[in-house]
Amino acid sequence: MIESKEGLQAAVKKIATLKQEIAMVIVGQETVVEQLLWSLLAGGHALLEGIPGLGKTMLVRTIADTVSLSFSRIQFTPDLMPSDITGTTLIDFGTQGSAAQRFQPGPVFGNLVLADEINRATPKTQSALLEAMQEGTVTAGGTTHVLPKPFFVLATQNPIEQEGTYPLPEAQLDRFLLKIGVEYPTREELKQIVMRTTAMEAPRARSVMTGEELTELQQDAKSLLVAEDILDLAVQLVMMTHPAEDDAPEEVKRYAKFGAGPRALQALISIGKVRALSHGRMHVSWQDLRTAALPVLRHRIVLTYEAQALGVTTDRLAASIVESIEANR
């Protein structure tokens, strides 16, 4: 908990150092890195959407290296079973014919878990991971096993290839704190990527923070204040995603089928606190909420068939909500 200006400055410096170290390995993608750190510092999970080859795996591994966290990767495929993720109970036979059960942990038992192409696995397998994300535990053979802390899942999905995929239901998408879009790098960034990756020795991030320090930063963010008027604005942001609301923008009333739920409000406030902390403030501002709105809301608004046919996106609806609030402030 931050109790002085010096404590606040120390937290800001730690976050800035973390970003700088990640930038030593990852070229560009500043917004993606920032939003991933928001999710990490808020103690939530993130869903990344982008075409293959944009460095998502390297980014997660780099974050794990900088924070001294264990990293594991799960490649989701249609034949992946729930036990391939969570682990399984084995029977060990002793030298004298005795037998004992032993739990063999799966790859979900890591601090940072990359769930690559999560929409390629069956709903049953997806649920195994999503339940672990929600509960922080895995049950096997009637025994509950606690996952390590901190525990952070980064799931990816490819927006191009849809054949043979199982899209995540809206209720399960809601468990992700943020949905982050990964954009294609610029020409200059592409040149830097090639120069770094084809050199004699590829750059590797060093550890600049421990897991304990990360936990402290999470607690620091939680201790920040939220004024009543800012909380009202956050509630308004979420409520205006519902087409039945009187003050919802016309686009939302026409193109939204369902709006965001209470988790969206929790996410807005949590991310707002983290962003305020990283900017050296003890309180959440409207700018924090405004900046967090798109990654928080884009996967929590369900579009109508008309919207899908016309190519209307949830980003467009979220942006119209933000603009509407700003116009009436």
pLDDT score of 206 = 80
In this prediction, residue 211 carries a pLDDT of 80
- Output the CA–CA distances (angstroms, integers) from residue 247 to 148, 225, 231, 242, 315, in the order listed: 44, 27, 17, 10, 18
List the CATH code of the domain at 1-214.
3.40.50.300
pLDDT at residue 23 in the model: 81
pLDDT score recorded for residue 13: 85
Q: What is the pLDDT of residue 70?
A: 83
pLDDT of residue 163: 62
- pLDDT of res. 286: 92
Tokens of 255: 């193109």
Peptide bond into 150 cis (omega under 30): yes
Tokens (6 digits) for 296: 């928080």
Alpha helices (H) along the chain: 5-23, 30-41, 56-66, 82-86, 123-135, 170-173, 187-197, 211-222, 228-239, 250-255, 262-278, 286-297, 305-310, 314-327
pLDDT in tens, the chain (329 residues): 666 777 778 888 888 888 888 887 777 778 888 898 899 899 889 998 887 777 777 888 888 888 888 888 888 888 888 888 888 877 777 666 677 777 778 888 888 888 888 888 888 888 888 878 888 888 777 778 888 888 888 888 877 656 667 788 777 788 899 999 888 878 887 888 777 777 767 777 788 888 888 888 888 888 888 899 999 999 999 999 999 888 888 898 999 998 888 999 999 999 999 999 988 888 899 999 999 999 999 999 999 999 889 988 899 999 999 998 888 77
pLDDT of residue 319: 92
Closest CA to 13 of 149, 234, 309, 213: 213
Residue 183 amino acid letter: E
Amino acid making up residue 186: T
pLDDT given at position 108? 87
CA dihedral 183, 267, 250, 304 (to 10 degrees): 70
- What is the model's pTM? 0.86
Contact 60, 66 (CB under 8 A): no
Residues 6+ apart with CB under 8 A from 195: none
Confidence at residue 94, expressed as pLDDT on a 0 to 100 scale? 66
SS3 state of residue 260: coil
pLDDT of residue 264: 92
Q: Are 1-214 and 224-329 the same fold in CATH?
A: no
CATH number for the domain whose boundaries are 224-329: 1.10.8.80
Instruction: State how far the alpha carbon of 201 is from the alpha carbons of 147, 188, 190, 196, in Å.
Output: 35, 21, 18, 8
Calpha distance 308→151 (Å, rounded) = 35
Taking the C-alpha atoms of residue 192 and residue 29, their distance in angstroms, rounded to an integer, is 13
User: Can you tell me the distance from the alpha carbon of 125 to that of 85, in angstroms, rounded to the nearest whole number?
Assistant: 8
Instruction: Report pLDDT for 287.
Output: 92
- Give domain limits for the chain: 1-214, 224-329
Q: Which amino acid, one-letter code, is at 75?
A: Q
